[in-house]
Structure 1
Amino acid sequence: MEEEIKEAFERIGLSLDEEEKILKKCLTLCINYKLGPSDLASSMEVYFLNRGIDGMVVHNAHMDGFLLYLQNEQKNAMIKEEAYPHLYSSNDVDMILNNEQEDVKETTVGTPIKGPDKLYSETSDLELGENGTTSGSQLRVATNHITPFGQRTNKFTVQFTLNKLPDMDDDVKKQEAADNEDDIIRRIQPSEACSFEVQGSQLEHSCRFMYDRVEDKFNALDNRIKRHAAAFVASGLYEEPGDPTVASQKSAFSVGMICCDGDGHLNDKSILLQGSVEHSGGQQVRLDIQKLPKFSFFPGQVVGIEGHNPSGHCLVASKVTDSIPFLATRDVDLPPSKRQATDQDLHPISSSSAPGKLSLLIASGPFTTTDNFLYEPLAELLAYSSRIQPQLLVLMGPFVDSEHPEIKIGAVDRSFDSIFHMEVLQDHVNYMGSTARVVLVPSIRDAGHDFVFPQPMFSLNMSDSKQQIISLQNPGTFDANKVKVGCCTLDVLKQLSGEEISRIPDGSSRDRMGRLATHLLSQRRHDVPLDLSLAPKALQISSIPDLLILPSDLAPFVKVLSIDESSNEGEQVKCICVNPGRLAKGVGGGTFVELNFDASNDRTNASIIRI
């Protein structure tokens, strides 16, 4: 058992310092918490990522904190499995008594409530200020019940800053200045609206899905390999790929997809390379990576391999290339005659004009805590936005989280539309003025929305704010002030974290989060369970965005990624990758990101703020 635990840690790149002591403790944890070796190693990996622990060595000092982490995970799992019958407490009595005062409460102007939703007005609506505005000092939850979120002491604390400006005030002074500032003066401050353009065709909210066939899925995967092979050849750095399954003593270049020979976790003994139908008939060959000094693999990844196959049964790799230049590969799907005519015109995709400046607030759901549907974190975020006045407020789902405890056990007796009122956002932009813009991106965790990927946009019935509240598909891309922004609410980082295996030489960067995010750009698509009959092009990244937003349950970060853009060695393009984290975590607050983008990465500054 201890040897299996050791092997499980080695598969994910973790080594043990005091091996004998740590393995004994790990064995005890496996027995007490009924975990297998792989599950224990995965939990340790998540613990390292969430705590921001540097290095890939497990020390004995880490075990106490890891034990507390497992205890909290088990406690949270027991809370989620709470029986359906509700045990009433004094808090429930307080809420019932508060409802009796509804007739004598001061009437406020707000969104009209229809039908049975009136019964939940105190727990779902956000109270508005005078004249229907939602100013920072007035936006609050319309209830007298004090929640754990409302009892927190620290608000808007900065956890991380990228390129902090020397003249920036600290968050406390900034908050006090905003609270003391006159509301009328703040509202008449001039602000410039950003230009906005949605890129690509958008899926309609009424589109049909689950119509793709197995044959279409196979062709789509084969076309991915062919598209990558054509891009490698077009770069001028590689020869025409050959068949990796043919026995040969000479080194040759091949292109294929990484696969696993079983249903388990990928490891260095179970890697297969599947070639295209054109070059190898779609056959697979075992891949020997012992001679590779550096690699990072996950199932579904398309790579270029240089190596030889002496026996015809195993390809011995000597060099691997997992990133292809961002060339204009639009000719890949053309007939051979037209493809040859355009081979001489291939050039790196570049923007016609330089991006401008852009200020953003970026937040990802859930937007309410797990103990209620009051949407207190969202109210705090909108209040902060009214003070900061960003040009763009990007809100990414889930808005009504299907993982919310009450929704999971079926304890909600009202519609999903009545739980979250989109009118709150309309009131916000009305207060902010004509220069404010809000971008909404759905999530597959959104209850009541299409459970498919790619995912169509929300259906919004807001004619007054049509130009200010924009709904995008998931994944989606847009230009704001000529800044190219790509966003995807699927937790790609967490999926890659659980599937990737890597070997990093000593002295190289061990920035795992940055490496996982780079995979997404290197592969140019999201490789997840999906419906290919909807929009295959929606899953392809035609050019490197200036800003890539990838919400994840993993630790929030803001990183500058360097991606190879063309066939010229050393020429790279920068991309800022943002994981804003979750706005609400359990019964407490989470994080969001405030970002001021500038064409020069040195002048771009961003802050991860805990709400």
Structure 2
Amino acid sequence: MHLLDTITMASVTAEDIKCELDTFNIAFNNDTVDKSKCQVFLCCFNFLQGPRWTGKGQSAVRVEMLEGGENSLISSYKYMFQRLRDVRDVLTEKIEELGEELRSHFNIEEFSPVSLPVQDSITVLGQVCCDSNGKLNTQSVLLEAGQEQGGRQVPVDLSELKEFSLFPGQVVVMEGMNPSGERFVATKLYEGIPLPFYCPSEGKQEMDEVSEPVMVMMACGPYTPSESLTYDPLIDLITIINKDRPDMCILFGPFVDSKHEQIEKNQVTETFENIFKRCVDSIVEGTKGSGCRLVFVPSQRDVHHHYIYPQPPFNLSNLSKDDSARVTLAPDPCTLLIGNVTFGLTSTDILFHMGAEEISSGTGTERFSRIMKHMLTQRSYYPLYPPAEEVNMDYDKFQQFGQMNLTPDILIVPSELRYFIKDVIGCVCVNPGRLTKGQVGGTYGRLLIQPNPVLVEGKRVSPCIAGQVVKI
């Protein structure tokens, strides 16, 4: 009997999950059925005729935390003590750092105080916030300056802007006038600037022996249907891993979902830690023959794990030496280096959280692309402030471990919202969806990547050869 088959509970009514679904423009977004393999491809990226969606289980694929050493979150930490002054300092530093980058890029001489009464056009720097506890709208936008510009808040009139996309916590540079000192009339909004991509040293390129395309599979929990705590969808995924033999499989939590009705009603008969151990043991043992490298990323919905952001990695002290060699325990969020390709990973539903707060007009782009672009240009895995109520943010650790040090080649952001794969300013952004949706199977994603990216005529070429979101 499979280890997961022993975790059986009484059936419960499926929880109603209200998910907001967006339309998106992407080639081949209609369902494509591979009848020979009984697979339904829900969306494709860089569609190729007859790509080989099988890996070789290449244990030679190198996986490491990009930051490394003291700059990586590798163990648990103390939390639940945070001073408002410390939060202010983190936000102020963020405003000043991004402001200096924008000032240098756009050759701006200096920033004026946002509350300065002046008849001429001035350029100001600040953070977008809302004038109340409600949702941001065009009439409630405030611009809060950093300490160097006086730290004042001023209402912003957006009526003169032809296009804009704003959310609370966004650091922006605006041009406009403030005749009375009480209301800033914005006439220009400067575009954010992303960080450069990773450029491996010659030594690292020589170290990586893998030259053929690498297949990376990704899936996000919950891994159980809403009616019970049987891990049938996960067993199906393990079967697919053994059949397709991906070189790498990235598994996002929740593995033991705090939102599952049986857990909420305390109807389980064993500890959460024991359920999690059975789940992980089944994944590791069940995929051993495939040679697939495994990456585990926790979620704040994992009921047995630390309920804090950034979230430390799991502790799997019971793994054997051989199993530990092919398992990577990553924090949320993190930047991984797979071969010479950078992967940005986060299990926190930033798409859902920012989608509920963002306002826009005249941008001509769909919402998912705008949110992904905001993450890349704000250089943060969670640029929203204040965060959603369900996110317990430790700002000191967030400053250390929640920022992007570069623009990842591939950014994976699982969400309740509709799956997608899209190129956003050179970064391939993927929402693989969730492995279960209520009582039915959901989706997972897979990518073919070139582990040693090349330059064509001196220009960077995306390492992502092809991508798909597949129905389980």
Q: Provide the TM-score with structure 2 as the length reference.
A: 0.82
Give the match's secondary structure for 2:396.
coil
Asked whether the equivalents of residues 551 and 580 of structure 1 are also in contact (C-alpha less than 8 Å), the reply is: yes
Q: Is the 8 A contact 1:271 1:286 kept in 2?
A: yes
Change (3 A) 1:245 1:542: same
Separation in 2, partners of 1:160, 1:601: 19
2:311 equivalent in structure 1: 455
State the Cα distance separating 1:324 from its structure 2 match: 2.6
Please name the residue that 2:448 is paired with.
596
- From 214, 222, 225, give the equivalent of 1:358: 214
Displacement of 1:238? 2.1
Distance 2:57 2:467 in 1: 23
Percent identity for Structure 1 against Structure 2: 31
Letter in 1 for 2:110: E
1:514 aligns with 2:377: no
Q: Which residue of 1 aligns with 2:414?
A: 551
Please state how far the C-alpha of 1:243 moved relative to its aligned partner. Answer: 0.6
Offset at 1:349? 7.0
**Alignment partner, residue 238 of structure 1:** 108
Distance in 2 of aligned mates of 1:225 and 1:558: 31
Aligned partner of 1:478 in structure 2 is 336
- 1:347-382 CA distances to partner (integer Å, 9 max, x unpaired)? x97454689743100100001111222211111111
Task: Sort the Cα spacing of 1:375 and 1:48 in 2 relative to 1 into closer, same or farther, 3 A.
Answer: closer
The within-5 A match list for 1:197-596 is 197-200=64-67, 201-280=71-150, 282-326=151-195, 350-352=199-201, 357-420=213-276, 421=278, 422-433=280-291, 436-461=292-317, 462-464=319-321, 465-504=323-362, 508=364, 510-525=365-380, 526=382, 527=384, 528=387, 529=391, 530-562=393-425, 574-596=426-448
CA contact (8 A) 1:252 1:306 kept: yes
- For 1:168 and 1:549, how far apart are their aligned partners in 2? 22
1:235 Cα deviation from its structure 2 partner: 2.1
The CA distance in 1 between the partners of 2:138 and 2:98, in whole Å, is 23
Separation of aligned partners in 2, 1:351 and 1:221: 31
Contact 1:559 1:578 in 2 (8 A): yes
Partner of 1:571: none
Q: Distance in 1 between the 2:303 and 2:95 partners?
A: 35
Q: Number of matched residues? A: 413
> Match for 1:242: what amino acid?
S
Is the alpha carbon distance of 1:205 and 1:190 closer, same or farther for their aligned partners in structure 2, counting shifts above 3 Å? closer
* Structure 2 unmatched ranges of 5 or more: 1-17, 26-36, 454-460
Give yes or no for contact 2:194–2:378 (8 Å, CA) kept in 1.
Answer: no
Tell whether the 8 Å contact from 1:210 to 1:533 is kept in structure 2 after alignment.
no
Aligned to 2:49: 166
Q: Provide the C-alpha distance between the structure 2 equivalents of 1:393 and 1:299, rounded to a whole number of angstroms.
A: 34
For 2:134 and 2:102, the matched residues in 1 are separated by 31
SS in 1 for 2:416: coil
Over 3 Å counting, the alpha-carbon distance change for 1:381 and 1:228 in structure 2 is same
CA contact (8 A) 2:344 2:411 kept: yes
Residue pairs, 1:140-219, within 5 angstroms: 156-168=39-51, 191=58, 193-200=60-67, 201-219=71-89
**Which consecutive residues of structure 1, in runs of 5 or more, have no partner in the other structure?**
1-42, 55-153, 179-185, 328-347, 563-573
User: What do residues 307-357 of structure 1 show as CA deviations (whole Å, max 9, x unaligned)?
Assistant: 111111111111112413527xxxxxxxxxxxxxxxxxxxx9745468974
User: What TM-score do you get using the length of structure 1 for normalisation?
Assistant: 0.64
CA drift at 1:239: 2.3
Return the letter of the residue paired with 1:194.
V
- Greater strand share, structure number: 2
* Residue matched to 1:610: 471
Counterpart contact for 2:167–2:354, Cα < 8 Å: yes
Asked whether the equivalents of residues 302 and 322 of structure 1 are also in contact (C-alpha less than 8 Å), the reply is: no
Provide the rounded CA distance (Å) in 2 between the counterparts of 1:190 and 1:390. 6
Residue 191 of structure 1: CA displacement?
4.2
Deviations 1:219-252 (A, max 9, x none): 1111111111111223253222111110111111
Separation (CA, whole Å) in 1 of partners of 2:123 and 2:315: 48
- In the alignment, residue 267 of structure 1 is paired with which amino acid? N
Q: Within 1, Cα distance between the matches of 2:343 and 2:232? A: 28
Q: C-alpha separation between the residues in 2 aligned to 1:546 and 1:53?
A: 21
Residue by residue over 1:481-508, the C-alpha shift from the partner in whole angstroms, topping out at 9 and shown as x without a partner, is: 1100110110000011100110025xx3
1:124-135 to structure 2, matched below 5 A, reads: none
Distance 2:38 2:356 in 1: 33
Q: Secondary structure at the match of 1:395?
A: strand
Alignment of 1:2-21 (within 5 A): none
Asked if the contact 2:64/2:336 (under 8 Å) is kept, the reply is yes
Q: In the superposition, relative to structure 1, how do residues 325 and 392 fare at CA in structure 2: closer, same or farther (>3 Å)?
A: closer
Q: CA deviation at 1:53?
A: 7.3
Give the AA of the match of 1:475.
P
Task: Report SS of the residue matched to 1:533.
Answer: helix
The separation in 2 between residues aligned to 1:379 and 1:544, in whole angstroms, is 34
Distance change (3 Å), C-alpha of 1:469 and 1:190: closer
Question: 1:349/1:241 Cα in 2 relative to 1: closer, same or farther (>3 Å)?
Answer: farther
